[in-house]
Structure 1
């Protein structure tokens, strides 16, 4: 069984040391054959951008034998060797425009030294020009740029620095455009596209393939990729956990699939989280945990009136790929470009995309961040709510929940449904350190929320009206799996009001541990 390349961005290491490689070289051949030599793509962090650039680098170095197990090996690619200028802006100091300028000069000098060239110049622009012209004496130059937007997006809390870095980048990439006759190929990646305010106004000959259906699967894993490359790992998980492979695949899909980057049907899994799932054999928010979106939460806090509804929103392509104002960034565009929203459907009549959360990992984790920043859950509040549940003071408990919900910006709950409120309530309950689970499956459905207290199991169904929700718990026998556990079972139907952002009504009853009705839980008499 091949090793899992977690965190490895060297294609040479992956291909030569028996790691799993999901072959993306067919996309490279297509890019080379297309005839447009200058490309840009935006993809979320840890989505394979750096590995793809490194793969391009090895192809342009002419290292054919490295790719003998890949599709490009048997193609008609000529395997010429080209000088390469590879810049990773995430590795260049950029907390100030002065530091960015010095960092660029040092990076260019390092490339020059690697090719035995010395360069001079008073600025990064002049050094870049001299370096490319000298490199082109051997052959036309390949320019590869990773995380071009890092100096901007990493400084959004200081607009002055972000704007100065943006202007420096605009001039730097404008120099690349002036060197077109010396260039063979350009490929630039980033998380976001700051159109009209960065390289896209200066280097306007870039072919932006971010939302091109033809390249929807260029990064990330498709369903076919998953089954073709990870079947031995899935079988290993199945054996060690005594679980059916179909259930493991379903869990993978629920947690990590769901990314659509175009109007095509191509859907991809988050590669970083998928690899970690294969390694650790359990579903966790691996991608989200590597870096909470502080810049995104900062924008939400700064402009709560612009927040995207949790039930989803729509936008045209130009709106999704256009961030033109650093003072007030369009949150829909930012959330799409950074991977927190993805395309759900496309309406060709209106030319609009409907957006949604891609999967369980992103939805639950992002909501947890919102809860952390918009609510105050103290140990005192947690203790009080736990006591309310233990003593069936449910009116008081749901009043406390309503107060929590009211602390969020009202825009979050525009056109909200049960599916909107369920993860929010789940996050609040987890924040109170309650033992809570969501969507526990039975043979005829999934219960919305389960709260385990010391003496009571709570089964909550979120529906409208609350009487209907309570009836659904009975009809689908959600409570049966919790009988004979030595605990009473509280069945609660809950109705939300999107207008008031409160729990507008609830209805409940208490069962004995063997599932027999003990009493009604009357909203007028329970706290």
Structure 2
């Protein structure tokens, strides 16, 4: 089929619409069949825009017995009965939850729809009492067990993150509602709940302790998202188009897609998953851009980082931790990693089976640079309007060999810090240095020291390699001497580019760059 007429389902979360209107569908139905026939109550945590809603819509169509929608898909050959079950689908996505009344109102809206089908004799009661009645009546009316699907169970809780009073009220309401699923187990055929986080999992689902959490199960790692194999086999014409539009070979286009959008791992030794939202947008418009990151800003994560005084450099370099500390079911100010991981900004990159330790890093360049660009204004004087301007200027000055202008700009950058940042610790300024050099990595090869025995920063341009050493309350001469004495240039001796050493004094009392020396 010609790529020009292929329809990619961006933002379409209805399986029925995708199949009836001829949109491309990446077949996940074999995993759905396995889930439906080997268990009953499931929970799945995945980042936003990762295909959870479409997965639930597909499960709904399957349990409604809509065989015609599955023509040509894997499940068509696996399922023989295609029975129709009553499905209660609770979608908590599209709503602002600013009060307990707003949460109860959305529960009531769904209950009214179900009561119209199965009876409304309990419509004056609490949401959980009505839920019990609807499940019982659906079972009696149809003669079949009931399927319950909950999309984004934690959306109300995430919207009031930081407001403990509202969180407590929401938890009380949701716990009572979801608790019905345990007491009504004999009436239920299948239960599936999705969300971004697991934080409310224990408190919300404490009465529902039989849930099978498949979030980190290897056999379900690809139930949402796109694998590399799916990308290269099912999007051939689109990959040809994006390669052509960006003057790349098809192999180079796949490599760029991989760097930009791949890299999510949801358990140890797992296959990498591509973010489906970004992939579909990039292929539809033949443009590499930060599509996923633009759909939501992690302000609540920045607030958590600020409260925790967490060293951002540790986060950027990769965090080594055990499973409990990034998949635990509570938010802790002194450990922001679980929320950052579960929100999709970090993913599993390595696993040490001996010590059972995971290394968590940014999944790909879209998330890495999206996160760093977003967080820079919170740690520095860069405003939202000029942050790209600053980084671009820094890069251009080094590319043209103008180190003096580069350091003058860096000095002005620190001098322009707002008053309220003036009492920041030495580490804060180190973090800002770190951010500047890391952000330059979008446009050139820039490294920042992450271990002893290395220069503070190395920037490689087409013509030159710059070795930077910053001395806190030490002289620029001492910084240059350290570059020579420690052999920081040795790894680059075989490189034909010009090598430029830059020794910089940083005055802690002035909180700014002082003298610098440049040596070629």
- State if a TM-score over 0.5 links the two structures: yes
How much does 1:11 deviate?
A: 1.1
Contact 2:465 2:497 survives alignment (8 Å)? no
Aligned-partner Cα distance in 1 for 2:260–2:129? 48
The answer for the alignment partner of 1:321 in structure 2 is 327
After superposition, the Cα gap between the structure-2 partners of 1:503 and 1:270, relative to the gap in structure 1 and judged at 3 Å, is farther
After superposition, the Cα gap between the structure-2 partners of 1:49 and 1:288, relative to the gap in structure 1 and judged at 3 Å, is same
Aligned-partner Cα distance in 2 for 1:156–1:494? 45
- Any stretches of 5+ residues in structure 2 without a counterpart? 447-456, 470-481
TM-score by length of 1: 0.79
Correspondence for 1:309 among 305, 310, 315: 315
1:413-449 deviation line (CA, Å, top 9, x unaligned): 99x9xxx97764253x79xxxxx82339xxxxxx975
1:5-54 deviation line (CA, Å, top 9, x unaligned): 111111112122222211111110111232x2000010000000000000
The answer for the alignment partner of 2:172 in structure 1 is 167
Correspondence for 1:253 among 253, 258, 273: 258
After superposition, the Cα gap between the structure-2 partners of 1:439 and 1:276, relative to the gap in structure 1 and judged at 3 Å, is farther
Aligned-partner Cα distance in 2 for 1:32–1:140? 13
Aligned-partner Cα distance in 2 for 1:259–1:275? 16
Matched, 1:20 2:29: no
Correspondence for 1:45 among 45, 48, 63: 48
After superposition, the Cα gap between the structure-2 partners of 1:93 and 1:176, relative to the gap in structure 1 and judged at 3 Å, is farther
How much does 1:130 deviate?
A: 0.7
After superposition, the Cα gap between the structure-2 partners of 1:129 and 1:371, relative to the gap in structure 1 and judged at 3 Å, is same
Matched, 1:103 2:109: no
The answer for the alignment partner of 1:152 in structure 2 is 157
Aligned-partner Cα distance in 1 for 2:279–2:425? 33
After superposition, the Cα gap between the structure-2 partners of 1:313 and 1:421, relative to the gap in structure 1 and judged at 3 Å, is farther
Q: Which aligned pairs between 1:493-512 and structure 2 lie closer than 5 A?
A: 493=501, 508=518
Q: Which aligned pairs between 1:393-432 and structure 2 lie closer than 5 A?
A: 393=405, 395-400=407-412, 424-427=436-439
Between 253-262 and 273-282, report the one with greater CA deviation.
273-282
After superposition, the Cα gap between the structure-2 partners of 1:52 and 1:463, relative to the gap in structure 1 and judged at 3 Å, is farther
How much does 1:404 deviate?
A: 8.9
Aligned-partner Cα distance in 2 for 1:68–1:125? 38
- Any stretches of 5+ residues in structure 1 without a counterpart? 431-435, 441-446, 452-456, 480-490, 510-519, 521-527
Contact 1:216 1:264 survives alignment (8 Å)? no
The answer for the alignment partner of 2:88 in structure 1 is 85
Residue 40 of structure 1 aligns to a residue whose secondary structure is: strand
Q: Which aligned pairs between 1:45-64 and structure 2 lie closer than 5 A?
A: 45-64=48-67
Contact 1:258 1:269 survives alignment (8 Å)? yes
Matched, 1:269 2:269: no
1:457-509 deviation line (CA, Å, top 9, x unaligned): 99564677756777877854568xxxxxxxxxxx75568999x9999998756
TM-score by length of 2: 0.80
After superposition, the Cα gap between the structure-2 partners of 1:426 and 1:353, relative to the gap in structure 1 and judged at 3 Å, is closer
The answer for the alignment partner of 1:76 in structure 2 is 79
Aligned-partner Cα distance in 2 for 1:497–1:79? 74
The answer for the alignment partner of 2:360 in structure 1 is 355
The answer for the alignment partner of 1:285 in structure 2 is 290
The answer for the alignment partner of 2:211 in structure 1 is 206
Correspondence for 1:5 among 3, 9, 13: 9
Contact 1:87 1:107 survives alignment (8 Å)? yes
Correspondence for 1:135 among 125, 131, 138: 138
Matched, 1:439 2:442: no
After superposition, the Cα gap between the structure-2 partners of 1:304 and 1:182, relative to the gap in structure 1 and judged at 3 Å, is same
Residue 320 of structure 2 aligns to a residue whose secondary structure is: strand
Contact 2:118 2:137 survives alignment (8 Å)? no
Q: CA RMSD in A?
A: 3.8
After superposition, the Cα gap between the structure-2 partners of 1:32 and 1:394, relative to the gap in structure 1 and judged at 3 Å, is closer
Aligned-partner Cα distance in 1 for 2:491–2:243? 33
After superposition, the Cα gap between the structure-2 partners of 1:168 and 1:411, relative to the gap in structure 1 and judged at 3 Å, is farther
Contact 2:308 2:335 survives alignment (8 Å)? no
Q: Which aligned pairs between 1:486-525 and structure 2 lie closer than 5 A?
A: 492-493=500-501, 508=518
After superposition, the Cα gap between the structure-2 partners of 1:77 and 1:342, relative to the gap in structure 1 and judged at 3 Å, is farther
Aligned-partner Cα distance in 1 for 2:491–2:290? 31
Aligned-partner Cα distance in 1 for 2:156–2:362? 27
After superposition, the Cα gap between the structure-2 partners of 1:264 and 1:504, relative to the gap in structure 1 and judged at 3 Å, is farther
Residue 291 of structure 1 aligns to a residue whose secondary structure is: coil
